[in-house]
Amino acid sequence: GESVGLHLPTLSVQEGDNSIINCAYSNSASDYFIWYKQESGKGPQFIIDIRSNMDKRQGQRVTVLLNKTVKHLSLQIAATQPGDSAVYFCAENNRIKAAGNKLTFGGGTRVLVKP
């Protein structure tokens, strides 16, 4: 469902530590799951995706884990840097017949990196 709230959950992390951001999704038929990063005043930026038939995918400093049993998605950021400070959204993709794809975003998490 849509996130309704005035305050985003915040994760404060020390520079150099690892960050873990969690997300629950709703539709077991979703074919891809994507993490987006959104910096203040900017549009969401693609970070990494995972197909529904996988349980782990690694990128540069980021790892996404998918647990379909409990409909849970997580993003791990290794050696968090000041430039990682942003709001992170998970999104699930579904195909729409004769109309392309549709993303449904989960609630975001704000990551604050402390120097």
Partner 1 sequence: DAMVIQNPRYQVTQFGKPVTLSCSQTLNHNVMYWYQQKSSQAPKLLFHYYDKDFNNEADTPDNFQSRRPNTSFCFLDIRSPGLGDAAMYLCATSSFFTDRSYEQYFGPGTRLTVT
Binding-site ranges for partner 1 (CB under 8 A):
2-8, 31-32, 34, 36, 41-46, 49, 89, 93, 96, 98-108
Nearer to partner 1, 29 or 115 (CB): 29
Q: Are 63 and 55 in contact (CB under 8 A)?
A: no
For the chain, what is the total number of helices (H) and then of strands (E)?
0, 10
Burial of 38 (0-12, 13-18, 19+ CB in 10 A): middle
In angstroms, what is the minimal distance from the CB of 80 to partner 1? 22
Residue 61 Cβ vs partner 1, minimum distance, rounded to whole Å: 19
> At its nearest, how many Å lie between partner 1 and the CB of residue 106?
6
| Pairing verdict, β 72-77 and 86-96 | unpaired
Nearer to partner 1, 18 or 101 (CB): 101
Which of 34/113 has CB closer to partner 1? 34
Does residue 41 contact residue 86 with C-beta atoms inside 8 Å? no
